[in-house]
C-alpha cells in the first residue's frame, strides 16, 4: 500500500494530530499532553501570549520540539486577522497561519465572507494559510481556489465537544478539494477523531477535548490512537453496509449427518 505521509504545503508532518493549547495553564500538564499525543504541530493564539515574554508556554513547545502554528483566534474582521497574521509571522518566524475569523460570539462560527477575503489577502502576502471554516463544501472549494494550503472544516462549534454533526458534508469536502482536509473543532472524545479520519480527513485539530479533560495526558494518548486507527481504517477499505447478515464463514461444504 506504500507510505502514507501527511504533507502540508510541501512539508511533511510526523503526526496527523494537531493540538491546540487553549484552556491550558499548567505547563507540566501541557508538556505531558504533547508527549502523549505524539503531535508535531501545536497551535497558539497570539492574542493570549506575548512571544517575547520569558517562561510562557512557548518554552514548553520549544522543549517538546514541535512546530508552532500561530492562529488568529479572537478576530472578527478580515482586517484584524490579516494584521494579527503579520504580527505572528514576525514573532514566530513562520509564514504558516491558522486563519480564524469569527462571525458570531455565541457559536464562534466562522464569518464566510470575511474569511475568504482574509485568506485571499494572506495568500497574496505569501502566507501558508490554513483556514478554520464551516462544513460547507462550496466554501471549502472557494478557500482552496484562492490558494489555501489546506481547509479546516468544523465538526461542531469550538469547545462544544459535540462531535461531527454532519459527516456527509465532511465527506463532500474531501471530494471537493485536493488540498489536505483537517477536521477542526467539535471533537469531544476519541471516537469523534477516529470518525473524522474514516471520512477521509487528512488530519484532526483539537484542543478542549484534551486540555479540559480530567486527565489530559490520557485523553491525548487516546486521541493519538484514534487518529491512527481512523486513518488505517480509511485506507484499509471498509466493507459495505448491508441490511441483512452475511455469515462470515461459507455455508457450502458443511458436513451433513
1-4 long-range contacts (CB < 8 A, ≥24 apart) are 1/235, 4/231, 4/235
Q: Which residues are paired to 45 by β-bridges? A: 71
Looking at 43-51, 93-101, 227-235, 245-253, which segment touches other proteins (CB under 8 A)? Answer: 43-51
Total number of residues that touch other proteins (CB under 8 A): 25
| Class of residue 201 by CB neighbours under 10 A (exposed 0-12, middle 13-18, buried 19+) | buried
Separation CA 192–CA 28 (nearest Å): 26
Q: How far apart are CB 233 and other proteins at their closest, in Å? A: 30
Separation CA 34–CA 59 (nearest Å): 13
Q: What is the dihedral of CA 42, 230, 3, 137, to 10 degrees?
A: -70
Q: Annotated binding residue at 93?
A: no
Q: Annotated binding residue at 150?
A: no
Residue of 15, 16, 19, 31 interacting with other proteins (CB under 8 A): 31
Looking at 48-56, 146-154, 174-182, 242-250, which segment touches other proteins (CB under 8 A)? Answer: 48-56
Catalytic residue among 16, 89, 98, 142: 98
Q: Annotated binding residue at 156?
A: no
63 labelled catalytic: no
Residue 65 interacting with other proteins (CB under 8 A):
no
Q: How far apart are CB 50 and other proteins at their closest, in Å? A: 4
Q: How far apart are CB 248 and other proteins at their closest, in Å? A: 41
Q: How far apart are CB 207 and other proteins at their closest, in Å? A: 14
Q: Annotated binding residue at 185?
A: yes
| 65 to 28, 39, 50, 72, 87: CA distances (angstroms) | 15, 10, 19, 22, 22
DSSP 102: B
Nearest to other proteins of 24, 130 (CB atom): 24
Phi, psi of 96, deg, nearest 5: -80, 135
Residue of 2, 10, 54, 253 interacting with other proteins (CB under 8 A): 54
Residue 107 interacting with other proteins (CB under 8 A):
no
Interface residues toward other proteins, by CB under 8 A: 25-29, 31-32, 48-50, 52-57, 60, 63, 106, 159, 213-217
Amino acid at each position: 500500500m506504500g507510505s502514507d505521509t501527511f504533507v502540508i504545503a510541501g512539508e511533511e508532518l510526523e503526526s496527523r494530530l494537531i493540538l491546540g493549547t487553549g484552556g491550558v495553564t499548567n505547563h507540566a500538564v501541557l508538556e505531558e499532553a504533547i508527549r502523549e499525543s505524539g503531535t508535531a504541530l501545536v497551535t497558539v493564539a497570539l492574542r493570549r501570549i506575548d512571544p517575547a515574554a520569558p517562561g510562557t508556554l512557548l518554552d514548553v513547545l520549544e522543549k517538546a520540539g514541535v512546530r508552532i502554528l500561530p492562529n488568529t483566534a479572537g478576530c472578527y474582521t478580515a482586517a484584524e486577522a490579516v494584521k494579527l497574521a503579520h504580527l505572528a509571522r514576525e514573532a514566530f518566524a513562520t509564514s504558516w497561519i491558522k486563519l480564524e475569523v469569527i462571525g458570531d460570539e455565541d457559536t464562534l462560527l466562522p464569518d464566510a465572507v470575511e474569511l475568504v477575503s482574509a485568506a485571499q489577502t494572506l495568500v497574496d502576502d505569501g502566507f501558508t494559510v490554513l483556514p478554520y471554516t464551516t462544513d460547507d463544501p462550496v466554501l471549502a472549494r472557494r478557500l482552496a481556489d484562492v490558494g489555501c494550503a489546506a481547509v479546516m472544516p468544523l465538526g461542531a462549534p469550538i469547545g462544544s465537544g459535540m462531535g461531527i454533526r454532519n459527516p456527509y458534508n465532511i465527506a463532500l469536502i474531501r471530494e471537493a478539494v485536493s488540498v489536505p482536509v483537517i477536521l477542526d473543532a467539535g471533537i469531544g472524545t476519541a471516537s469523534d477523531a477516529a470518525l473524522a479520519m474514516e471520512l477521509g480527513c487528512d488530519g484532526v485539530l483539537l484542543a478542549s477535548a484534551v486540555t479540559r479533560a480530567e486527565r489530559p495526558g490520557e485523553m491525548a494518548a487516546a486521541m493519538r490512537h484514534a487518529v491512527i486507527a481512523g486513518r488505517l481504517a480509511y485506507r484499509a477499505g471498509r466493507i459495505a453496509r448491508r441490511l441483512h447478515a452475511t455469515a462470515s464463514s461459507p455455508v457450502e461444504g458443511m458436513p451433513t449427518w
